[in-house]
Amino acid sequence: MHLHIIGICGTFMGSIALLARQLGHRVSGCDANTYPPMNIQLEECGIAVLDGYLPEHLDGRPELVVVGNTIARGNPVLERALEEGMPCTSGPQWLAQYVLRGKWVLGVAGTHGKTTASAMLAWILEFAGLAPGFLIGGVTQNFPVSSRLGETPFFVVEADEYDSAFCDKRSKFVHYAPRTTILHNLEFDHADIFDDLAAMQRQFHHLIRTLPGNGRIVMPADEPALDEVLAQGCWTPVQRVGFDLDEAQCRRLAQANCQEAFWNVRPQASDGGRFELQKHCAGAPRPVVAAVSWQQTGLHNVRNGAAAMIAAEHAGVPVATAAQALGGFRGVKRRLELRGIVNGVTVYDDFAHHPTAIGATLQGLSARLAGEGRIIAVVEPRSNTMKAGVHQHVLAESVDRADLAVWFQPEHCRLDCAALAAGGSTPARAFGEVDGIVSHLAAIAKPGDHVVIMSNGGFGGIHEKLLAALKSPA
């Protein structure tokens, strides 16, 4: 079958392209304004990406057109497909129909941490010899690709709450019906498609309604927004995860809340480099404990790792084995990814695009550095929620762990970055051009500084521009 994918360079749609290729289909696709790492991954896998959305991209008469959720009515390729009656489907629907049917699906949902926890879970299963399939919304350092079919019934999928397609406004995860489900957290996001938190909770409950009675939900013990979702009805056993609770608290919660077990995460280092996961069963005299020592940074990653371990246990992986696996977990590209060190200045790329994620990234790095060198946070408010100004009142404090901050002011954006720079406790400046940011950073950066560039897009190639400027300062 010949598939043509509109919007092929998105992390999800690019991963769909790889799966289709592995199934033996002929795959073509088109996109605009592409940037690494997905366009590079597709090229390495022999999938050509046509530039733009020209109607003639469909001259090959594909048998199925898979439409990315960023593609709206009026897009020239989509309009031709509809006018000529070409079969169209969404990426999530294609995944459910052609890949997930009959699989033991392990889904990772939540506002933050989906990509990293999915990568951790897939790696744990791989380490344990289960050879899972997976679709992860990013390029991991432990696997050469972001998706694969796998060799066993297990399939890990990043279960995104964003909508499915122009004609299907349900969240992607409604299509997946996972047996094992991680619900990380729930905050208001995606203001372009959700009116409020309640609208998001409705979609999360649609997900809950698809889960089987022999499944497992892994979720925090301290997430009220998710508790409200479960209160609408839940038919699947829930295992809750506490954070840094004492043994008496764990015993009480195990007696009161657990259907099988209550879990507790105990950080052993402030930077998240070591932690223990404890499994408390009602009536058991002592908890089962697994210790993790790894290279990941931040307490948010501790939560990610613990949830992945508990989900993997449902698939038959002992927590001790999962702990060993995480010791070799190498992370995900664009999650505090080192891009280079020039003249003593370290430059990172990070995908954070929500105040909570920005704060978590900076907390982890700050704890690891322990005061050795300045942290300079550079933030592009690129998501639709950011640009709508939804987070204006909390964004400034999200960079409190940084020593300096730089805000990029996009065009046609209701967020006032000059006000953010003036109103926060961290010294900050706002710029309207990437080149202005690069010149500023090259002028003020000094050996020992750590520059964290945070955006969910290409940010005008700022990483390479900055590294080049640091090599040859004016």
Q: What is the pLDDT along the chain (474 residues), one digit of tens a residue?
A: 999 999 998 889 999 999 999 999 999 999 997 766 677 878 888 888 899 999 999 998 999 999 999 999 999 999 999 999 999 999 999 999 999 999 999 999 998 888 999 999 999 999 999 999 999 987 788 898 889 999 999 999 999 988 999 999 999 999 999 999 999 888 877 667 778 889 999 999 999 999 999 999 999 998 899 999 999 999 999 999 999 888 778 777 777 665 578 899 999 988 889 999 999 887 777 788 899 999 888 888 999 999 999 999 999 999 999 999 999 998 777 777 889 999 999 999 987 777 888 888 888 888 888 788 899 999 888 877 776 667 777 788 888 889 999 999 888 888 888 888 888 889 889 898 999 999 999 999 999 999 999 898 788 889 999 999 898 755
Distance CA 412, CA 48 (A): 32
- Give the number of other CB atoms < 10 A from CB of residue 268: 13
Kindly list the structural domains of the chain, giving each domain's residue range(s) and its CATH number in brackets, ordered by start. 2-90 (3.40.50.720), 102-327 (3.40.1190.10), 337-471 (3.90.190.20)
- Give every CB contact of residue 282 below 8 A, 6+ residues apart in sequence: 254, 255, 258, 262
Name the residue among 58, 66, 62 with its Cα closest to residue 91: 66
- What integer pLDDT is reported at residue 258 of this predicted model? 55
Q: What are phi and psi of 35, to 5 degrees?
A: -155, 160
Angle, vertex CA 157, rays to CA 168 and CA 196, nearest 5: 50
What tokens were used for 56? 């003639």
Distance CA 192, CA 125 (A): 35
What tokens were used for 267? 């950080």
Distance CA 249, CA 163 (A): 39
